[in-house]
Structure 1
Amino acid sequence: MSNSEIYLLAMLLIFSVPYLVWRLLRTDYFAPLVIVQIIMGIVMGPSLLGAVFPAYHQFVFNPAVVQSINGVGMWGVMLFVMLAGLELDLKKVWQYRKESATTAGLSLGVPLLFGCGAGLLLLGYGGWIGPKARDWQFTLGVGMACAVTALPVLVMLMEKLQILRQPMGQRLLRYASLDDVAIWGVLALILLDWERVGRQAGFLLAFGVATFLLRRAMVRLPAGDRWYVALIWLIACGLGADWAGLHFMVGAFLAGVVMDADWFEQKLLDMLFKNVLLVLMPVYFISTGLRTRWNMGGTAVFFVTGLLLFASVGGKLIGAQIAGRLLKWQAGEASTIGWLLQTKGLVEIVFANILLDKGIITGETFTALMLMAATSTMLTVPIVHPRLHRAAQTGLVQQAGS
């Protein structure tokens, strides 16, 4: 078979297998299609399908095909996250800056402390800390892995729950975006990459200057030119953020945040969002799973998974509850926000893969983190959906802010 035929065969598997599992098994309530796509990506990866059918896996997902798939997936998630950033109203960010900083800090800090506690506990047993890690690096790495919120998956779940453009969705975007920037900054400290820390500061400074120039230029451009300039801006921000070690998804989100949605026709924005969701995002979810190598380990992995799940979910919920008390939220808001913010998914996979590659964690720890991420994400919709339904009866979801 030619390379183009093998590529199309891989794309056929990427789009058909998750869809058939999702539709035939009717998993939508506890595992929406996005979650099935993530899981199927891992199943089709080198550690499962590659282990059972190594020759077939190497034939279909050869390096050239995987590289092409990764390129499509990377572009898709950049567009998707930029559009999510466009949904965030900067005026509301500034108006509710105290509430946003308080909630983001607590929703990151409390699970971080819980996760660090779990990491300290694991240090007493062999097989969890990586060969190149110091104790504090392992502890902080596990803690931050428990504090992660997966922004792309959160956006897709909010779209499914129909709250993305409601005040609740805007609040969650504010909290998750602040945490996302902090996560990659802390990763640079864990890896002792001081050059990367300097690059991050330089990128943020340059980004501020470029944003000022962009906003002055965009209002003077014809409507048709704004779309093309927006794509150039997206690529430049993604490149700069990735070079700085903040990850290209952070750059893509920031690129969207500083643009105004009213620069573009809302109907076209909606159409682009739906097309990216349908055409490109499945490729990204599968491509991430294809790069994931994990080792199931022994039964102890499941006990550690439970420990990490408690630290992650419990930490997010407690952090949100503390924020709710400080900010005097209505009854039920804190638990809903906490459950949505504990969504892990893809960012957890990327974060944990870096820790594994750098020797901070072992394959067994990576497996426990993956199981924790899948479980926490699958819990989100079944728990949040009925809460939102009840909240809608009292007007909670329509509330604008703190």
Structure 2
Amino acid sequence: MWLERLYRGYQHYWLPLALLLLLTGMFWVGDRSLYHKLYYLTLAAPTLLLLLCRPHRFAFLCSEPLFLLFVGFALYVMLSLNWSPAPIDYSKLKHPLYIGMLIVAVAALGESDMRRLVGVVALASLFAVLAALVTITAHFAGPLSGYRLEGVGALYNPLLTSHVYGFFAVVWLAALVASPRLWAIKLLLFLALVFLLFLTGSRTPFMALGVCTAWLVVMVSDRRVIWLALALGVTVAIGLWFFDSALLERGLSYRPLIWADAWRQILPALWFGHGYDAGIDIVIVSLNVLLADPHNLTLGVVYQTGLVGGAMWLAIYVYSLLSAWRLRGSGLVLISSTLLVFGFAAGMTEGGSFMSRPKEHWFLIWIPLAIHLAVLRKIKADRLRAEMAG
């Protein structure tokens, strides 16, 4: 049947290419709107079309608790539009659909051939190192070499740039701990990305890398910690040698004041929130600055969806990490769960837009979640087949 052949072509050939474009597009697409369109045309639309034409091929997701937790959260977020103070913007309904298609597509690729999914992430991570080297060279050769590195392509902000490169740094760090094979190459690739992170002047990725370190120590608790200690020791040496105390000069950047004001504005609508798409204005009087987000993704969730939505948001992470703990013997679980930990930790000090069109925050939230779901699904499916065969 031609629809079945179309699905197989999508699964085996189109999906790996579309995912590679999503993972690397921020580096080479100069216009952010083009990056959005690239995702819509290459991944979101084809996945939705195949989902409508061959729904039984995606039926396995209906038995995945992590997918159901996401669907429940997304539906509640969309429901909260009804009590948002602004008129309902129906275009916002597309945002969970974009994210849902990412999760469905990555799960479908992992279901058909996990090696291809791993290969795509590895190839994208290599491309990220190449992009980092080009960006570092352009930074030092440019007129703003004494300032914070902003990024090239669709990347333009030091902090947001650190989200994307931090994601790929964690891939190499976790891969180094998961297996000592080619350890020297993995370490060098990790350090190249770390050097770029230092140049952004952002402290968020290093705080998140510290949390990832604790997670990896808990997950492995054996001689593989040596590789982790080696990576972190060289990272600290680079930081002290090239940057000294530059990252600490800005202190806490008013984060406690921002969070306190955000919580004050959360309290009037504590249980159900102010509604998705409700704006927030946080004023730092001493700087005469107006901020439009709480600089904490979890607080952003609670502000818009209340404690109910916050509990659903945290349930996604609790289930993901508990599942990772139970399957911690897998190197793939080690990598995917560490990506999830990095994103959650980084989101504790930055951001507020948790459900959006494709952008840097996807590398903190939804891309790690999609990869982790695919890995959990594949390992559980393989174990079930092994038990049935035994």
> What's the TM-score, normalizing by structure 2?
0.27
Higher relative CO (CA 8 A, sep ≥ 6), structure 1 or 2?
1
